[in-house]
Chain A
Amino acid sequence: MTRKKSLSVIGKPLRKVDAMAKCAGETVYADDLNLPRMIYAKLLRSPHPHARVLGVNAARALTLDGVYAVITGEDLPQKFGIMPSTEDEEALAVDKVRYAGDPVAAVAAISESLAEKALGTIDVEYEVLKPILSIEEALASTEESQRIHTWNRRANVQKAVSLEFGDIEGGFARSDHIFEGTFFYQGNTHLPMEQYCAVGSYGPDDKLTLWSSTQTPHYLHRALAKVLKLPASRIRVIATPVGGGFGGKSDPFSHEICAAKLSMITRRPVKFTLSREECFYVHRGRHPVKMWAKTGVKSDGTIQAMQYKTFLDGGGYSSYGLASVYYTGALQTVTYKVPAYKFEGVRVFTNKPPCGPKRGHGTPQPRFAEEIQMDEIAEKLGIDPLDLRLKQLVEANSVTINGLQISSCGLRECIEKVAERAEWKKKFRKLPFGHGIGFAASAYITGAGLPIYRNDMPHSGVQIKLDRSGGVTVFCGSTDIGQGSDSILVYAIAEEFGIDPADIRVVTADTDLTPVDLGSYSSRVTIMTGNATIQACGKLKLMLLEAASEALEVPADDLEFADGQVRSASLPTRGISFAECVVKAEGKHGTLGATGSYWPPKNPREFKGSGVGPTPAYTFSTSIVELHCDSETGEIKIDKVWIAHDCGRAFNPLLVEGQTEGSVYMALGEALMEEQIFRKNGLHKIPSILEYKSPTTLETPEIETILVETIDPEGPYGAKEAGQGPLLPVVPAVSNAVYDAIGVRIHEVPITPDKILRALEGRLKAVSIPKFDFPAPLKWQPGQGVQVEQKS
């Protein structure tokens, strides 16, 4: 079999397979589902951030005509949570509520309005407890009586970690300059335009179907089985096209479990559509993180040692927190050579909606600190910030001090190209007062190296069926959240078989019909489903080639799949159509189908915490932000953003650009205006789209995207991720540009006009860092094993 030299589908700016349906308004999102006899459900939420639930009386609700069922914590006592070791959530509070908005009961009724009305008749008796609303309060609340949860070892500490790599003391000792700084990255939320929605239907065959706007149908499938105590084989989860996720639809949620449970009770389809306000309570967004960063450098700027402490405000439950805390320390080493590195991180519980994974999961916060500190180092040493980085970039095929294996690396090219396009040398420190330009770089993972629950099975499975008509159907558990994962499957198949993408049908995200894919998170989908697809195609191609070779009397190694044909590469007129080839192959081999699987490379390190950070391939991004700042009002206007991203291979440049531009947009929102903030009583201060500020067309600048292709050996056709990495450099680049414009350093986001004015007047206080006794560090060096056991 010959490998084609040029690609005919991959790399082309094709339409997404679902593009026309989306533009015609025909895509069926979860809330567009209307099933016969469907009824509607609502959640009763706690008005208190922290309280014991002494009793729930729903007797009055049940007397209302048209109310079919009310459930409370007693009905669903099984705890669950996305991470198997920290399952601390309940679908409905059993004995305690842990944030204002925590669900305590659910009602199903003939209409949404009646369900809403019925909520008002449910009496809940609470014993109100003092809420814990900040990292400092959580760390100070060490008494047993002050605990938010009881399962964790240290009161209100969900997880504390400490890792040390290389000779950290020696590194600092060898440094000519030490830079220390404190930083705060405020929390923010995903705000997808589609509100959460799920429809549960328990059928007469005692099987449950749940449609949901979820990014992770497989994990939801497992959670439903566990909480509902049903065999997983009786549950079917279908992820509907997701109207925006960004990480916010990756946990199993109360409304999903309750939709299923209420349907089991009423034997009718039950729909939940959450209100916008409720979406702010469900949250799972960016963690507020306080950070302390220290970097030691030689006089020429080369890094000798780097140390971080991070403090994460986790909210009321664990969610992905175990991974989140490690991610605030994992990737600092993946851009510049860091010979010694120490990281301590702690995630605390507070009485606020739980934080979780948002685009970049745990890494934008430390990247913000790191890139500002690099800018400060450059400033102090009188080196151009780009030159400071260029002299010590990580290299392809190297291992970082914390054991991360880097394959391809286009960071240098990203820096050079973005600098050239933005005319960095002409502008940096040369623009008039009020105008500024800033730079930052970053790295991100292309899929987590480990699944969320320990198992040896593939992370992604694909099944392909060939039809006698020449049509191809692909089945895969992956979930299209707008990024184009359905299209990825089609492009790969079209490329492999040389056929028109229009001849391929996609069946995805249905646990009954499709092989497992772990879900749309951690930028894993293209690399994992792409490789699994190529593998499945490879199996089918062997059968097709055998049949074609016989029919055409051409040796198999001279055959190629191209232009809808299987033909001789040396004599292209000699060929048969793909459809004919399928017919012949089916005659020879029987029904044609094949599966493909993908496992990420095995992680060669084994120390506690080494599971977070490894990936099949790292992507690299650089950004330059040009802005102007009104020094009298503190208002910032972004003039332009340049972004260069090493995506391995642009599978479809339109989609890669789209992901990149979207990342820049979301980054600017975080940098300038978005914040999930609370009143002193623990209520969300602004749970509405009007007051939670999301940039419009008028705040979003021109974005110039530069795609750098490094053709990664592990990626399908060399592709890496694009959905998250490009967010990372933009936020610190904004802060660095503000410094260039008006000479003040802002170590916090969002960078609001009042902070600018305070900073200009020297009144912006440095971020305070809590005191905390971290566990003794686990020390590790490349090639070594575990030395110290972790204590929490």
Chain B
Amino acid sequence: MKRLLRLRVNGETKEVAFETSKTLLEVLREDLGLNGTKHGCELGECGTCTVLVNGEPVLSCLMLGVEAENAEIVTVEGMSQNGKPHPLQKAFADLGAAQCGYCIPGILLTAKALLDENPHPTREEIRQALSGNLCRCTGYTKILQAVELAAKEIA
């Protein structure tokens, strides 16, 4: 059965009707046209579909759309501010941290949550924070460097 719900996504309120059984991932991609959120397994085993809910990284494949009601949802499309890319986005682009790019939206958001909470993380803290996001291209090296660069940029 479809329900009409209000979702707060990237600072905008969206009214959208969807099946209760739809995950937030499906609602974002299929009902809100926000294709920036990717998926790699839909079972919570890869981290690709990470979005922020009330500032915390969560797996959109394991959360119902209805469960995200009344929460602040941020997807990769919501990272830029006033048309300017987030320092993380810039650092990832500058350092070549995105190869195929498929895991990158989830990693950017996870890194954003880290920097929001801990503006000067050590490399070990970054590794821990990103330990739920698999990347098969980069060997993580440039990703870790990019998070460090962005942290410097923000500070």
Contact = CB atoms under 8 A, between A and B. Distances in A.
The reply to whether A and B meet directly (CB within 8 Å) is: yes
B43 A27 contact: no
Interface in B95-152: 95-96, 98-105, 108, 126-128, 130-144
A694 interface: yes
Interface stretch (B1-9, B65-73, B74-82): B74-82
B46 A193 contact: yes
Contacts of B41: 276, 688-689
Given A24-B76, A666-B136, A698 B102 contact: no
Contacts of A688: 41, 43, 45
Nearest to A16: B96
Contacts of A28: 35
Contacts of B140: 665, 697, 700
A661 B35 contact: no
B75 A662 contact: no
Given A243-B38, A244-B100, A698 B137 contact: no
B96 A24 contact: no
A194 B38 contact: yes
Contact of B102 (A18, A192, A652): A192
B26 to A, nearest CB: 10
Contacts of A244: 99-100, 102, 136-137
B142 A191 contact: no
Contacts of A13: 96
Contact of A194 (B36, B40, B93): B40
Interface string B26-64: 000100000111111111011010000000000000000
Nearest to A276: B41
Determine the main DSSP class of B at the interface with A.
loop
A23 B108 contact: yes
B134 A193 contact: yes
Contacts, number: 169
Contact of A481 (B45, B93, B100): B100
B40 A276 contact: yes
A195 to B, nearest CB: 7
Interface footprint category on A: 35 or more
Nearest to B37: A25
B94 interface: yes
Nearest to A704: B141
Given A688-B41, A689-B40, A689-B43, A22 B104 contact: yes
A457 interface: no
A658 B38 CA distance: 22
B76 A658 contact: no
Contacts of B43: 276, 688-690
A658 B146 CA distance: 12
Residue of B39, B90, B100, B142 ringed by the most chain A CB atoms within 10 A: B100
Interface footprint category on B: 35 or more
B51 to A, nearest CB: 11
Interface in A632-670: 652, 654-655, 657-658, 661-666
Contacts of B85: 20, 23-24
A94 B101 CA distance: 38
B89 interface: yes
B89 to A, nearest CB: 4
Interface string A1-38: 00000000000010110111111111111011000000
A690 B138 contact: no
Contact of B127 (A242, A276, A654, A697): A697
Contacts of A191: 136
Nearest to A658: B96
Nearest to A660: B139
Contact of A698 (B95, B105, B128, B141): B128
B134 A696 contact: yes
B136 A15 contact: no
A25 B112 CA distance: 15
Contacts of A241: 100-101
A193 B38 contact: yes
Contacts of B142: 654, 657-658, 661
B107 to A, nearest CB: 10
B139 A29 contact: no
B1 to A, nearest CB: 14
B139 A703 contact: yes
Residue of B75, B102, B103, B133 ringed by the most chain A CB atoms within 10 A: B102
A674 B48 CA distance: 20
Contacts of A22: 93, 98, 101, 104
Nearest to A275: B42
A246 B104 CA distance: 17
Given A23-B92, A27-B101, A245-B100, 12 more contacts: A20-B93, A22-B101, A24-B77, A25-B76, A28-B35, A193-B136, A483-B99, A658-B99, A696-B132, A696-B134, A697-B143, A700-B141
Interface of B: 29, 35-43, 45-46, 48, 75-77, 79-80, 85, 88-90, 92-96, 98-105, 108, 126-128, 130-144
22 contacts: A22-B98, A23-B88, A23-B93, A25-B35, A191-B136, A192-B100, A194-B102, A195-B39, A241-B101, A243-B102, A244-B136, A244-B137, A275-B42, A276-B42, A276-B43, A481-B100, A482-B99, A665-B140, A666-B139, A694-B136, A697-B140, A700-B139
